[in-house]
């Protein structure tokens, strides 16, 4: 499964009656995400436009280049599947640039079988059982995949796990493609151009590192994640969230998981 699935996330919150649940300021991240919500579904808002999207039991999100606000229910159970770069294109044969900045009903991509999976998750009794249910569904999807792997998919994986050198040059060499060819194929299979994907991957690492090590100063985080200096990090934060790193860290400290002493790392 690891060739197609990068990781799973399970979000399980039960808020008491009368508790005012804060929204989750969901920063941009370079991933395709399938999310099952067998209990109370969430509402989504795009703060830039003010548009609200009605709750969906099973949803699919493409890579987002802008912040969104997620409003969870009182009993929130979310089982997320994060796909490897290029995997959605292989499975669905849909050009990934059509899914960028999209939040949609998963039935549009995978059919009404997603509803059955969601019902099974509702009746499951523990997390390992939930993963087994989801993997049976994913295994069937992968067996019916409509495209073979492309070298660009592997480049996307390499970028995801990059920790130091965020230069595009070495990836161009590995792909044996010109800048224009790589841009076109990358956008088709992964949803973003390579430069933007690398930029977002670096930002995502900085965001999670600060959550994991809140005592670390921003300059140390910036240098560790491949930024030239603190101002370089500030530029990305403002582009992706509209806030400085410090301002967004304060907002993230009001997220729902913080009520339980947790942070998204």
* pLDDT number for residue 10: 96
* Shared-domain flag, residues 94 and 193: no
In a domain, 84, yes or no: yes
Which three-class secondary structure string do you get for 114-178? Answer: HHHHHHHHHHCCCHHHHHHHHHHHHHHHHHCCCCCCCHHHHHHHHHHCCCCCCCCHHHHHHHCCC
Q: How far does the chain reach from its first CA to its final CA, in angstroms?
A: 23
On the question of pLDDT at 166 being above 60, the answer is: no
Q: Read off the CATH number of the domain in which 95 is found.
A: 2.60.120
* Same domain flag for 196 and 210: yes
The mean pLDDT of the chain is: 93
**Domain count within the chain:** 2
pTM above 0.85, yes or no: yes
With respect to residue 94, please indicate whether it lies within any of the assigned structural domains.
Answer: yes
Asked if residue 183 and residue 131 are part of one domain, the reply reads no
Q: The domain that contains 241 carries what CATH number?
A: 1.10.10.60
The model's confidence at residue 238, banded by pLDDT at 50, 70 and 90, is: very high
- Does 80 reside within a domain? yes
Do 176 and 127 have their domain in common? no
109 found inside a domain: yes
Q: Do 115 and 20 belong together in one domain?
A: yes
- Contact criterion met (CB below 8 Å) for 32 and 191: yes
**Residue where a domain stops, chosen among 96, 114, 148:** 148
At residue 165, the pLDDT reads: 58
Per-residue pLDDT reduced to its tens digit, 79-108 = 999 999 999 999 999 999 999 999 999 999
- End residue of a domain, out of 148, 173, 188: 148
Domain span at residue 204?
151-252
Same domain, yes or no: 65 and 139: yes
What pLDDT is recorded for position 116? 97
Residues 14 and 133 in one domain: yes
Same domain, 12 and 54: yes
56 and 167 share one domain: no
Answer with the one of 133, 148, 163 that is the final residue of a domain: 148
Strand partners, 58: 36
């Amino acid at each position: 499964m690891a060739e197609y699935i990068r990781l799973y996330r399970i979000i399980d919150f039960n808020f008491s009656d009368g508790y005012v649940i804060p929204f989750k300021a969901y920063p941009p991240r370079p991933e395709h995400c399938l999310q099952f919500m067998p209990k109370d579904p969430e509402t989504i808002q795009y703060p830039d436009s003010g548009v609200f999207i009605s709750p969906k039991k099973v949803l699919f999100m493409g890579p987002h280049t802008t912040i969104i606000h997620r409003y969870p229910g009182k009993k929130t159970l979310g089982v997320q599947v994060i796909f490897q770069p290029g995997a959605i294109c292989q499975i669905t044969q849909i050009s990934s640039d059509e899914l960028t900045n999209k939040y949609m009903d998963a039935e549009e991509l995978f059919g009404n079988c997603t509803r059955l999976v969601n019902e099974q998750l509702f009746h499951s009794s523990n997390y390992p059982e939930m993963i087994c249910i989801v993997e049976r569904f994913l295994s069937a999807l992968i067996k019916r995949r409509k495209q073979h792997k492309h070298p660009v998919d592997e480049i996307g994986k390499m970028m995801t796990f990059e920790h130091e050198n965020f230069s595009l040059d070495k990836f161009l060499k590995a792909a044996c493609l010109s800048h224009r060819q790589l841009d076109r194929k990358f956008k088709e299979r992964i949803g973003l151009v390579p430069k933007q994907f690398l930029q977002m991957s670096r930002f995502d690492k900085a965001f999670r590192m600060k959550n994991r090590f809140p005592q670390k100063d921003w300059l140390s985080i910036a240098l560790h994640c491949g930024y030239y200096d603190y101002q370089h990090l500030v530029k990305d934060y403002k582009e992706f969230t509209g806030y400085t790193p410090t301002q967004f860290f304060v907002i993230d400290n009001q997220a729902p998981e913080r009520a339980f002493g947790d942070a998204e790392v």
